Amino acid sequence: MKLLEQKYRVPEIYGEQWFNSEPIIISANRGRVICIFFWDATDQSSLHTLHYIKDWYNKYEGFDLITIGVHSPKFPFGQKLDFVQSSITKHNISFPVVTDNEHYLRKIFQIKIVPSILLIDRSGFIRYFHEGEGFYNSLELALQILFVDAGYHGDLPELTEPICDADRANIQLYRCTPEILVGFQKGPIGNTEGYFPQSVFKYSDPQMYLEGRVYLSGLWLVNKHFVKVENSDYPNNYLIVSYKGKEVNAVIGPDSETNFRVFIIQDGRYLTKEIAGIDVTIDENGRSYIEVNNHNLFNLVKNKEFGEHLIKLLPESDSFTFYSMSFTSAPINELISGV
């Protein structure tokens, strides 16, 4: 978290569309503390941070806090208003949200990554700024300092308890595999054939995998932002990723047909209920799968411990489009006091 020594007055927020509120005029709210949260509904770090933003919004409602969520999408489907509205409903967001589809607000606020949080003081100056996850206690303490600066003299609430060990101060985490993006404008694949932009190509499974690369097998169409199965030759069309992490999330969507299944295999076996992600169903034959009805960030795997694994996705439909895969870390147990 950065305490800004040099004062920067916050600019007005001119977004495309507002939800849960009429447009908020920053200059008309001098004297109030403002929290601006840049996020993306397909980003696991944003959704993790969202837990704290929602808690602060509810906890400090009586302190005249203004909270504004700036939805800054990574993928084109995230620009659609119905997607934003459904995400707001799904995650039970009550504070105002404004869309930043062209990343205009990201540019003027000089935001490099999401999630990012800015705290604005009563005079309209940006006082604190943080990129990425973590430092939640420090950020909430900074909020409380700004309330005192704004004239509040009563008792302040207890800080929000961390929702997991990884959020606690001074915890060391394992190095997990970074987020993987596909599409010829986003990131490479592991197959030696490489990309054939806007073309269909038959990929072969190399049977050897580097960590953090997507490997394709079968017929695939390569787009700027995603790769898409080009025929429904199940189970010969699939993708494989070698990763290090605890949980696995993937951004997946339909191209046309909906209500299709994508089977999930880890380390050569279907997932058991003990490690299946929250979006996974296990059928009567013990096969683990997700059902794709719309574009979404799907939670696929919740391993009990951090480790190295091989995950395989087998779609039943040629409507399957794959955008990204991301992973969560975990504390190094031997470095946690008392473990």
Residues of the chain with CATH 2.60.120.260: 180-333
> Is 255 buried (19+), middle (13-18) or exposed (0-12) by CB count in 10 A?
middle
What's the average model confidence in pLDDT over 196-204?
Answer: 93
pLDDT for the residue 338: 47
What are the pLDDT digits (tens) for 247-295?
A: 999 999 999 889 999 999 999 999 999 999 999 999 999 999 999 999 9
- Count other Cβ atoms within 10 Å, centred on residue 286: 11
What is the third-level CATH fold of 180-333? Jelly Rolls (2.60.120)
Task: Name which residue leads in pLDDT, 218 or 9.
Answer: 218
Contacts of 153 (CB under 8 A, 6+ apart): none
pLDDT category, 6, cuts 50, 70, 90? low
From CA 203, how far away is CA 225, in angstroms rounded? 18
CA–centroid distance for 62 within its chain? 29
List, by residue range, all CATH 3.40.30.10 domains of the chain. 2-163
- C-alpha of 174 from chain center: 19
Please name the residue ranges forming H helices in the chain. Answer: 44-59, 81-90, 104-108, 136-149
Q: Domain 2-163: give its CATH code.
A: 3.40.30.10
